[in-house]
Chains A and B, each alone.
Chain A
Amino acid sequence: MENDLLLAAFVYLSIAVLAVPLANRFGLGSVLGYLIAGIVIGPFALNLTGGGHSDVLHFAEFGVVLMLFLIGLELQPQVLWKLRKKIVGLGGLQVLLTSLFIAGLAILLGLTWRPALAIGLILALSSTAIVMQSLQEKGWSRGPGGRSAFTVLLFQDIAVIPILAILPLLAIPETIPQVIAHGAPGDGESHTTSVEHGVEHGAEVATSLVAHLPLWAQGLAALVAVVAVVVGSRYLLRPVFRLIASVQSRELFTAFALFLVVAISLLMREIGLSMALGTFLAGVVLADSEYRHELENNIQPFKGLLLGLFFIAVGSSIDFELILGSLQTVLGLTVALLVIKLLVLVVVGYAFDLRGSQLALFTLALAQGGEFAFVLFSFATQNQVLSFEIAGILTAVVALTMLVTPLLLIVYELALLPLLDRLQSEREEDTIDDDEENRVILAGYGAFGTLIGRLLVANRIPTTILDYNPDQIDRMRRFGFKVYYGDATRMELLELAGIAKAELLVVAIGDSDAATRLIEEVAHRHPHVTIIARAADRVHYRELSRAGAHIIVRQYLQSAMFMGQSILQELGFRAFTARRRVQAFARHDIRMLDQLAIEDMDEKSVVTMARKASEQIERALHQDQAYHNPAHALELDDPDDEEQHADLANMPDPSAAPGRTTVS
């Protein structure tokens, strides 16, 4: 058993590792790569899946749930609320029109209205997994077209619930024997086991705890569950996250994040609601939370793996025997489905103000059947709505349209996009979530970063703050700061925080080596960002300079200088003179350091040179002090001793007083 699991993992992972880079190489995108990989290992090519692909599919569907959770995390409640009209209008119109056209075609092809309507409803849905994955991969998900596609998908997710309620009502009594005859192989096709396949979208009324209740009580239970998820995410989760974060264990945080999604999914399933929808809702509520980026970070890999698995499973489930057996029917229906969907999408997209390349993207992205269809077709056969043959053929059609989608998007990218952009002279800018992209990102919020953060907020400069210390975050949030929990030294978190759009990155994290690595990476990947960094000491100063930091401030220089001024004053210097001495010292010291930073030498020589520089400064300032200014006609008191500065660089190497160093 264990061996089988390992073997399956080996097969799936190896084909993914082979196929996805290849697909990317040829510009096909990872989705198509996975689908092709699935076909290759499926029963009609290498047959390595061992017939268990439906289990894998069922398991991998959880990837869709995770994806919707992540999408929810990206969407603040206010944003969702603003989208409500579009979700209902655009999404509703798409589902309604597509359903009617497909049902009409089905009736023309000889079906009665009941199965025709069922098919229409099921095929009206598109694939959230494929669309969102493809759009995000290409960076199109945030433009008007991508956003509109998302609102339609969201409506479809919601629409699954009423569709599930309607489907049993469309049953045709005479098809019952057929359905039983075509039950899943294996454990005797009991109603509940096959129903388990429908578990993904939690839509299975039959397994839910509340199924025996009257309809109003079911509705009430659903309402209570949704309110519980929203309120719980809002008020209960924050202290729990705080507690978990204070343990400072990344594994624990990951475990809790997964636990959270699984728990919500279970709750939704038991209550008869869509799991994906429930986690999406939880994601939206948590989108305001400071732990959002870290949650995204932790869930992302699981989502990626499971979605990949899901696509592979879809690929391997394409029944080529069936397709080849009725090739003309399948291909004809596939084309018909694509054409109907494209036409409806163009019309509704245009009605909702999409134009040019954005309309094309919206249309082409949503033209396929969705993963819901797999679930719903099996559900429909169980409920004697559709015959197994029809469901089988249509499942193949859906899979084929999914396979076609990445190809359509390639056509869009290579042919349509350049063409339409050229035609559309004044193309509207892609709207970016500007409420999230601040000009300044402050990484590290310890004692040092806190001071900087307060200065920025005092000057009303919107700043995104990243830190790993939950106590700090909580305290600063109470002051109304926008603080995110997360390891600021991880590049992914910075990407999520909007480094690509930021102007300034302030690196105030305490771990010197981590700061250097981070700066190296940011300077390499985002050369437009100005990096201001805090250096621990002179050696670190030099490292940061090499790493590509633009402005470097030694963390102790200014405070030491302030203190030094007080010391000089205590020793009898007048305050202004003390201030001037300190300024002179700091200027020399910074100049020396900048020189050291650009010279090429090993670390040991840096220390030696730094020491020599210190001695030079000491000497220069001492001479400065000894320098006496003769009286002159204007009777100015000597305001400062500046003359020597220019000569400092040419000072002879002082060998006096070895081992002595000055404060820096």
Chain B
Amino acid sequence: MQSVLILFAHPIFERSQSHRRLLQALSGLEHVHLHDLYQAYPDFYIDVAHEHELLAQHDHIVMQFPLYWFSTPSLLKEWQDLVLHRWAEANRPSLNVANKTFSLATTTGDPASSYEPKGEFAASLDAIFLPLRLTARYAGFRWQPPFVLTGVNQLDDTGLELAGEAYRDYLLEKVYPHGRPHGHDAPRS
């Protein structure tokens, strides 16, 4: 059993249907700790020591955010600048034994087709996530495949519901990487 830290960054969360539904889907999940960065640091003044404590306490780190300009919202970038900078520095000799895993949970307004080789952006999501992947590796985290929800503007209620369930399953995989105990494996209707 692993503990999961969700670094959630959404500057206008109150207007986001999709992230509200994703977060609703985690309610009641044990060992998943939601850390709402825009709520914790409205003035962008991040408490680095506190963030280090959180990182140390959890096994798997998820950055959950809407994709802004093929990147993270600015506070999450600030978080990387401050927190990971010191984290990497402090843990440098032992980074490889930290044995923590890392993944992204991202939503995009555009449909998945836009990120295909012949799509609008002509760049894959993997390519877009490369800087984050490098960052994670540099800070000593093992990268794991992201949870991506594309075309959120086109999703209806059922679509959002399904997305929430998929996200819940995704996180349960993180909590129980070696198979879930009884009661968690049945998919919710």
**Chain B 68-96 residues near chain A, CB threshold 8 A:** 81-82, 85-86, 88-89
Q: How large is the interface on B (under 10, 10 to 19, 20 to 34, 35 or more residues)?
A: 10 to 19
In the complex, residue of chain A having the shortest beta-carbon distance to the beta carbon of B52: A646
Residues on B with beta carbons closer than 8 Å to the beta carbon of A656: none
Give A645 to B53 CA distance when docked, in angstroms.
13
B43 touches A639 (CB 8 A): no
B49 touches A580 (CB 8 A): no
Q: How far does the Cβ of B150 sit from chain A's closest Cβ, in whole Å?
A: 30
Within 8 Å of chain B (Cβ to Cβ): is A642? yes
Give A584 to B43 CA distance when docked, in angstroms.
12
A643 touches B85 (CB 8 A): no
Q: How far does the Cβ of B119 sit from chain A's closest Cβ, in whole Å?
A: 32
Residues on A with beta carbons closer than 8 Å to the beta carbon of B43: 583
Residues on B with beta carbons closer than 8 Å to the beta carbon of A584: 45
Give A172 to B138 CA distance when docked, in angstroms.
110
B85 touches A639 (CB 8 A): yes
Given contacts A583-B43, A642-B82, A642-B86, whether A634 and B138 have CB atoms under 8 Å apart is yes
**Chain A 604-655 residues near chain B, CB threshold 8 A:** 632-634, 636, 639-640, 642-643, 645-646
Give A583 to B41 CA distance when docked, in angstroms.
12
Within 8 Å of chain B (Cβ to Cβ): is A475? no
Residues on A with beta carbons closer than 8 Å to the beta carbon of B82: 639-640, 642
Within 8 Å of chain B (Cβ to Cβ): is A587? yes
Given contacts A634-B85, A636-B81, whether A643 and B138 have CB atoms under 8 Å apart is no
Within 8 Å of chain A (Cβ to Cβ): is B47? yes
* A646 partner, pick from B45, B49, B81, B88, beta carbons under 8 A: B49
Residues on A with beta carbons closer than 8 Å to the beta carbon of B125: none
B85 touches A636 (CB 8 A): yes
Q: How far does the Cβ of A591 sit from chain B's closest Cβ, in whole Å?
A: 10
**Chain A 565-584 residues near chain B, CB threshold 8 A:** 580, 583-584
Within 8 Å of chain A (Cβ to Cβ): is B34? no
Q: How far does the Cβ of A274 sit from chain B's closest Cβ, in whole Å?
A: 55
Give A634 to B134 CA distance when docked, in angstroms.
11
Residues on B with beta carbons closer than 8 Å to the beta carbon of A634: 85, 88, 138
Within 8 Å of chain A (Cβ to Cβ): is B48? yes
Interface size counted on chain A using CB atoms at 8 A: 14
A639 touches B45 (CB 8 A): no
B48 touches A645 (CB 8 A): yes
B45 touches A587 (CB 8 A): yes
B48 touches A642 (CB 8 A): yes
B85 touches A580 (CB 8 A): no
Give A636 to B82 CA distance when docked, in angstroms.
10
Residues on A with beta carbons closer than 8 Å to the beta carbon of B46: 642
Give A639 to B83 CA distance when docked, in angstroms.
10
Give A646 to B81 CA distance when docked, in angstroms.
19
Residues on B with beta carbons closer than 8 Å to the beta carbon of A645: 47-49
Give A646 to B90 CA distance when docked, in angstroms.
14
Residues on A with beta carbons closer than 8 Å to the beta carbon of B138: 633-634
Residues on A with beta carbons closer than 8 Å to the beta carbon of B47: 587, 642, 645
B48 touches A640 (CB 8 A): yes
Give A63 to B45 CA distance when docked, in angstroms.
61
Give A444 to B48 CA distance when docked, in angstroms.
38
Give A643 to B86 CA distance when docked, in angstroms.
8
B49 touches A639 (CB 8 A): no
Given contacts A583-B43, A645-B48, whether A639 and B89 have CB atoms under 8 Å apart is no
Residues on A with beta carbons closer than 8 Å to the beta carbon of B86: 642-643
B48 touches A580 (CB 8 A): no
**Chain B 8-47 residues near chain A, CB threshold 8 A:** 43, 45-47
Contact with A along B116-156 (1 / 0, CB 8 A): 00000000000000000000001000000000000000000
Give A162 to B144 CA distance when docked, in angstroms.
88
Give A587 to B47 CA distance when docked, in angstroms.
10
Residues on B with beta carbons closer than 8 Å to the beta carbon of A642: 46-49, 82, 86
**Chain B 89-122 residues near chain A, CB threshold 8 A:** 89
Give A643 to B51 CA distance when docked, in angstroms.
11
Residues on B with beta carbons closer than 8 Å to the beta carbon of A636: 81, 85
Given contacts A639-B81, A642-B82, whether A632 and B89 have CB atoms under 8 Å apart is yes
A-B contacts, 8 listed (Cβ < 8 Å): A587-B47, A632-B85, A634-B138, A639-B85, A642-B86, A643-B49, A645-B47, A645-B49
Q: Apart from A632-B85, A634-B85, A640-B48, list 10 A-B contacts with CB within 8 A.
A: A580-B45, A587-B45, A634-B138, A636-B81, A636-B85, A639-B82, A642-B46, A642-B82, A645-B48, A646-B49
Q: Nearest 10 pairs between A and B by C-beta?
A: A642-B48, A646-B49, A583-B45, A645-B49, A636-B85, A639-B81, A639-B82, A640-B82, A632-B89, A643-B86
